[in-house]
Structure 1
Amino acid sequence: MTKKIICILILFLSCKGFASRVDTLLVHSHAMNKEVKNVVIIPDNYSKTNTAYNVVYLLHGAGGDYKAWLGKAPAIKKYADDYNIIIVCPDGDKTSWYFDSPIDASMKYETYVSDELITKIDQTYNTTASKSGRAISGYSMGGHGALYLAFKHQDIWGAVASMSGGVDIRPFPLRWDIAKRLGTYAENKAHWEQNTVINLVYLLDGKQLNILFDCGVDDFFYDANLRLHNKLKARNIPHDFISRPGGHTNTYWSNSIQYHMLFFNDFFKNSKN
């Protein structure tokens, strides 16, 4: 075998390590009366007619967009192949916090992600269109969003994970445009109390949702994640919580997503049993 053929073969095999297709799917949101862009990663052996695929939704952090995950963790293209799943990365309008804002009718990202986007994905691609084939994760604001949406919509999501999630927004009344979504904390305390993840634990019965979350010990959100862990533990809600070295960084998230994919893969396998 010549050196040229060997080089071509190596290049071919290395390229096969990544998903064959990355779509940009435009979805009309009736709730917000606008078009929203979403990255959809299709595994290499995708067949629209023969196989129903499980779907993992990945939410970006504050300041990001639908392409953020591809930049922060390019390996997600390989994970789509490795686990034979579809990965969807919606746009969260930089600082939506994935709420349906009680003060701004143009910001309805809870409705968008948990209803409009899921419906469109299940119509467009061959998916397992039930909670047994659906999982969600995210980093930072997206970690908050993943837990927020899954806690509130346990009929939609079967598994949820969060990395470096802002699981208690109340200590940050002046940051990341949260006040633009909920109103100022001083004048709209009820909005903040009702829309922070740590206050939604009461929705859980410990049977409907598989939960994993992690946070670096040097992260400014670490204390809130630890408090969420202790609150879940006190209420006997099964979950996995991981503390590991690291801060609020791309390096941390690109490492963490590997474990989230393993967690989801186990969930999908067990759901079929």
Structure 2
Amino acid sequence: MKRTLLLKAIILLIVVTGLALQTKAARVQHLTTHSQSMDKDIEVVVVTPEGYSDDKSYPVLYLLHGYSDNQTGWITKVPEIKNYADLYQFIIVCPDGAFSSWYFDSPIDKNIKYETYVSHELVDWVDDSFSTIDSREGRAITGLSMGGHGALYLAFRNQDIYGAAGSLSGGVDIRPFPDNWDLSKRLGTYAENKDNWEENSVINLVYKLTPGSLEISIDCGVGDFFYGVNCDLHEKLLERNIPHDFTTRPGGHTWDYWKNAIAFQSVFFHHFFEKAK
């Protein structure tokens, strides 16, 4: 009898301890936002850190998914991002960027306005809904592949919104890929709409930067099909004396690579947020 009671007590203690730990861990919320510019609801995943409180203001990392994915991609494939939210005490926001928006306001399809959504409507919603640092010093943005393009594209064009930006295996120059990933649906064909492609390639937006205007971290594997365009962007940033981190290592266009890379970029953004305090 005593042994049975002791066993029950131990089990109860384990359950209570487990529940206590769960209440202290990062919270993952699947929420719905509304885009007025596109007149539709858009799903978003928000990760708030351990001990989140309205009495404290938190920095926000916007984390963008790649082509053909959605808002659940990061939290499903790399659940470790919850640990980074806890460790560095920032909020992570993963919006649905649609199957192939490329995070543009499309010049040919008025139903695709993802620059307006992410950098204005979503940012405003996050600041209204959570206790955030409501300034560029408290916002960073990064993403993988299409999302890597999107993060730098949005940050270069909206430096009043974001103070830091990153890219993981980003399609930072879309011009070499005129027949890929639905880009022609967003910009028109390259042959007939060359200006759209030139004006919306990240590498051609470097002129918007000045030294120190934006904290930048770029990461791409040497076996990635975007490796060449990332090296080109790195060289162009050097030519213009724009400080940035540029990281390469063995690897390709894979979740294994991004899982490793986001750990390093989380440290990069943490340092930015700490410096901005």
TM over 0.5: yes
- What is the distance in 2 between the residues matched to 1:257 and 1:14? 25
Q: Which runs of 5+ in 1 are unaligned?
A: none
- Call closer, same or farther: CA 1:234–1:215 in 2, change over 3 Å: same
**Secondary structure, aligned partner of 2:132:** coil
Task: Report the AA paired with residue 32 of structure 1.
Answer: M
Task: Report the AA paired with residue 163 of structure 2.
Answer: G
- Call closer, same or farther: CA 1:52–1:249 in 2, change over 3 Å: same
CA contact (8 A) 2:24 2:51 kept: no
**Secondary structure, aligned partner of 2:42:** strand
Q: 1:242 aligns with which of 244, 247, 258?
A: 247
Q: Is 1:104 matched up with 2:124?
A: no
**Secondary structure, aligned partner of 1:246:** coil
> Which protein shows a greater Rg?
2
Q: 2:224 aligns with which of 219, 222, 234?
A: 219
Q: 1:128 aligns with which of 133, 140, 164?
A: 133
**Secondary structure, aligned partner of 1:93:** coil
Q: Which residue of structure 2 aligns with residue 139 of structure 1?
A: 144
TM-fit CA distance, 1:251: 0.3
TM-fit CA distance, 1:5: 6.4
**Secondary structure, aligned partner of 2:212:** coil
- What is the distance in 1 between the residues matched to 2:14 and 2:170? 43
CA contact (8 A) 1:72 1:253 kept: no
CA contact (8 A) 2:48 2:90 kept: yes
Task: Report the AA paired with residue 100 of structure 2.
Answer: T
Q: Which runs of 5+ in 2 are unaligned?
A: 1-5
TM-score normalised over the length of structure 2: 0.93
- What is the distance in 1 between the residues matched to 2:42 and 2:19? 34
- What is the distance in 2 between the residues matched to 1:17 and 1:140? 33
- What is the distance in 2 between the residues matched to 1:194 and 1:230? 19
TM-fit CA distance, 1:72: 1.8
- What is the distance in 1 between the residues matched to 2:250 and 2:22? 32
* Correspondence list, 1:33-112, <5 A: 33-48=39-54, 50-112=55-117
RMSD across aligned positions (CA): 1.6
CA contact (8 A) 1:17 1:81 kept: no
Deviation >2 Å, runs of 4+: 1-18
- Call closer, same or farther: CA 1:16–1:260 in 2, change over 3 Å: farther
Q: Which residue of structure 2 aligns with residue 264 of structure 1?
A: 269
TM-fit CA distance, 1:43: 1.1
1:140-160 Cα shifts (integer Å, max 9, x gaps): 000000000000000000000
CA contact (8 A) 1:151 1:203 kept: yes
TM-fit CA distance, 1:4: 3.9
TM-fit CA distance, 1:8: 4.5
Q: Is 1:27 matched up with 2:33?
A: yes
**Secondary structure, aligned partner of 1:198:** helix
TM-fit CA distance, 1:100: 0.3
CA contact (8 A) 1:100 1:111 kept: yes
Task: Report the AA paired with residue 100 of structure 1.
Answer: D
Equivalenced residues, count: 270
CA contact (8 A) 2:57 2:132 kept: yes
- What is the distance in 2 between the residues matched to 1:13 and 1:40? 21
**Secondary structure, aligned partner of 1:89:** strand
* Correspondence list, 1:7-22, <5 A: 7-8=14-15, 11=18, 15=22, 18-19=25-26, 21-22=27-28
- What is the distance in 2 between the residues matched to 1:243 and 1:17? 35
**Secondary structure, aligned partner of 2:246:** strand
- What is the distance in 2 between the residues matched to 1:127 and 1:90? 17
TM-fit CA distance, 1:207: 2.1
Paired-residue identity, % = 55
TM-fit CA distance, 1:65: 0.5
Q: Which residue of structure 1 aligns with residue 190 of structure 2?
A: 185
Q: Which residue of structure 1 aligns with residue 3 of structure 2?
A: none
Task: Report the AA paired with residue 169 of structure 2.
Answer: S
CA contact (8 A) 1:17 1:78 kept: no
TM-fit CA distance, 1:11: 4.3
TM-score normalised over the length of structure 1: 0.95
Task: Report the AA paired with residue 44 of structure 2.
Answer: N
